[in-house]
Chain A
Amino acid sequence: DAGVIQSPRHEVTEMGQEVTLRCKPISGHNSLFWYRQTMMRGLELLIYFNNNVPIDDSGMPEDRFSAKMPNASFSTLKIQPSEPRDSAVYFCASRRTGGTVTDTQYFGPGTRLTVL
């Protein structure tokens, strides 16, 4: 099993630019989560999908952030326009069961984003 795949692994961009982060969940997993991790705030849930449908996006910081899951094997998190305070590590995670947290959640390696 390839695990959760994220790209790019590192991204350095300038303020105001659009940033798109990509995630491929583990095959057969039907829940997908986007997290952001910073030293100050720790690991925060941004949004999660069940069966490609966004269920809870209350963690999305503002309208500059958007996420899509067009099919079961691909999701994107877009920031437009990016700001220096968006600098963080963004993790994608997937889980087999859509209903409960009892199944293990597997994280991708993360995308380290730096906005100058």
Chain B
Amino acid sequence: RKEVEQDPGPFNVPEGATVAFNCTYSNSASQSFFWYRQDCRKEPKLLMSVYSSGNEDGRFTAQLNRASQYISLLIRDSKLSDSATYLCVVGNQAGTALIFGKGTTLSVSS
């Protein structure tokens, strides 16, 4: 089983749509969780951390289910500028390095 698994997509949605991405991780001892965003031919950038109680940043909501080892990202009212690849990221057991999923590609069209 891969350490971090994501549906690669692509997800093609119209502007204004709500879209959700899911991710599972294999190491139950992981303590840190993140979503990164990567634009085409650019470097990954931190989008948001994911906390146990769930957290929201504007149109973005992240959820964590430790029992199921499942992480989600919800984007409401999608914008054209949201088109990118979203990487699910988990801290390793030692808490010293990050393990990246292969990413889910989102394309928002007008």
Interface size band for B: 10 to 19
In the bound complex, residues from chain B placing their C-beta under 8 Å from that of A104 are 46
List residues of chain A with CB within 8 A of the CB of B101. 42
Contact B99 A105 (CB under 8 A): no
* A101 and B31 alpha carbons, distance in the complex (Å): 9
Would B96 and A56 count as touching, CB distance under 8 A?
yes
Q: Is the CB of B43 within 8 A of A91?
A: yes
Contact of B44 (CB < 8 Å), options: A45, A48, A107: A107
Shortest Cβ distance from residue A12 to the other chain B in the assembled complex, whole angstroms: 16
Confirm or deny: B60 has a beta carbon within 8 angstroms of a beta carbon on chain A.
no
A101 to B97, CA, bound (A): 6
Indicate whether A100 reaches chain B with its CB closer than 8 angstroms: yes
**Interface SS of A by simple majority:** strand
Q: Tell whether A71 is near chain B: CB-to-CB under 8 Å.
A: no
Q: How many A-B residue pairs have CB under 8 A?
A: 51
Contacts of A48 in B (CB 8 A): 96-97
Q: Considering the chains assembled together, what is the distance between the CA atoms of A26 and B34 in angstroms?
A: 21
Taking residues whose C-beta sits less than 8 angstroms from the other chain, chain A's interface range is 20 to 34
B46 and A45: CB pair below 8 A?
no
Cross-chain contact B32 with A42 (CB below 8 angstroms): no
With A43-B87, A45-B97, A45-B98 known to touch, is A100 a contact of B44 (CB < 8 Å)? no
Residue of A nearest to B6 (CB): A42
B100 contacts the other chain (CB 8 A): yes
**Bound-state Cα–Cα, A88 to B98, Å:** 19
Which residues in chain A, 22-48, are within 8 Å of chain B measured between CB atoms?
A: 33, 35, 41-45, 48
The chain A residue with its CB closest to the CB of B101 is: A42
Contact of A100 among B46, B95, B99, B103 (CB under 8 A): B95
B1 contacts A by Cβ under 8 Å: no
22 contacts between A and B (CB under 8 A): A33-B98, A35-B100, A41-B102, A42-B101, A43-B44, A44-B100, A45-B97, A45-B99, A48-B96, A91-B44, A99-B95, A100-B32, A100-B91, A100-B95, A100-B96, A101-B32, A101-B92, A101-B95, A101-B97, A105-B98, A107-B43, A109-B42
